[in-house]
């Protein structure tokens, strides 16, 4: 079952229970901590979500909290697993003593990408120049990757993060055209920051009296880009393009998707993410 609402008061739980019952949606209430949780069958999730949102829209004066629907946040630790995968890949390459060859052959080379080796926009995200470079990026993946997945889900989130990394590298190649090569997951990390900024922007923009404050998340995202993405030996333009890709994809998600999809969508998206990574490396080899 999928968690629809969390930490409801007794009165709110009764109200939403009646809303779901009136639309014939099977649901389960359970007391957790300081409030009630409501779960519905995965197949009824979208219908239940629409029913609750419609009720809140028609009865705004009864809405007790700024953001009562729990669907926007899901607990996940996939950022840790992604970091472990990056570490394992780096160690394997280091043991082979072919780090320089991997960077030259599979890095994000503007010239080679524009001459058909599009897979480099993906393979370069896995490669890192040295342990210090790796440590910075796994921290970013663990923090910002996990944050994106709490909003979009553990499958859709990683697919979107990978997409921002690919778009960032491809756009960077169009800018430089030749004489430029880079590696590292940081382009995708700044894509994640862009998506988080866009999500918070739309979240605040939709709230009464918060439209001016909605600019703050975007300002914070730009500040992080300036602080974390412009250091020595950093590919500033790749970071910028990844961030902008994140803004665009995050905006589209916030406008057209109401929350993390059910487990079937998450599993399919995660398989597609691994599939894209596998196809890129198979094409490279």
Q: Which of 186, 197, 254, 269 is catalytic?
A: 186
Per DSSP, the three-state class of 15 is helix
CA separation for the pair 123, 283 (Å, rounded): 10
CA atoms within 13 A of residue 98's CA, in its CB half-sphere: 9
CA separation for the pair 33, 204 (Å, rounded): 28
Distances (CA, A) of 110 to 94, 121, 148, 183, 199: 24, 9, 28, 12, 31
Rounded (5°) CA angle 73-75-77: 135
What is the C-alpha radius of gyration for the chain, rounded to an integer number of angstroms? 21
Say whether 112 is catalytic. Answer: no
Say whether 27 is catalytic. Answer: no
Q: Which of 112, 180, 239, 254 is catalytic?
A: 239
The residues annotated as belonging to the active site are 186, 239
């Amino acid at each position: 079952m999928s968690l629809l609402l969390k930490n409801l008061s007794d009165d709110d739980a009764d109200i939403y229970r009646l809303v779901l019952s009136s639309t014939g949606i099977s649901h389960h209430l359970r007391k957790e901590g300081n409030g009630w949780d409501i779960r519905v069958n995965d197949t009824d999730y979208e219908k239940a979500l629409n029913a609750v949102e419609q009720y809140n829209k028609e009865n705004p004066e009864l809405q007790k909290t700024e953001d009562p629907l729990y669907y926007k946040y899901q607990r996940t630790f996939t950022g840790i697993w992604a970091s472990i995968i990056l570490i394992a890949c780096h160690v394997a390459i280091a043991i082979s003593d072919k780090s320089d060859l991997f960077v030259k052959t599979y890095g994000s080379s503007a010239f080679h990408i524009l001459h058909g080796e599009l897979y480099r926009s993906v393979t370069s995200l896995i490669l890192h120049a040295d342990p210090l470079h790796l440590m910075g990026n796994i921290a970013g993946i663990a923090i910002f990757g996990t944050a994106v997945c709490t909003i979009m889900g553990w499958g859709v989130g990683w697919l979107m993060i990978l997409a921002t990394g690919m778009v960032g590298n491809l756009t960077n190649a169009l800018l430089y055209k030749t004489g430029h090569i880079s590696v590292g997951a940081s382009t995708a990390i700044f894509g994640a920051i862009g998506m988080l900024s866009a999500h918070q922007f739309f979240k605040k923009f939709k709230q009464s009296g918060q439209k001016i404050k909605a600019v703050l998340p975007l300002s914070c995202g730009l500040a992080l880009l300036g602080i974390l993405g412009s250091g020595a030996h950093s590919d500033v333009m790749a970071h910028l393009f990844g961030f902008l890709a994140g803004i665009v994809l995050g905006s589209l998600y916030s406008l057209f998707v109401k929350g993390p999809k059910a487990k079937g969508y998450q599993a399919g998206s995660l398989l597609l993410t691994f599939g894209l990574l596998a196809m890129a490396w198979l094409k490279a080899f």
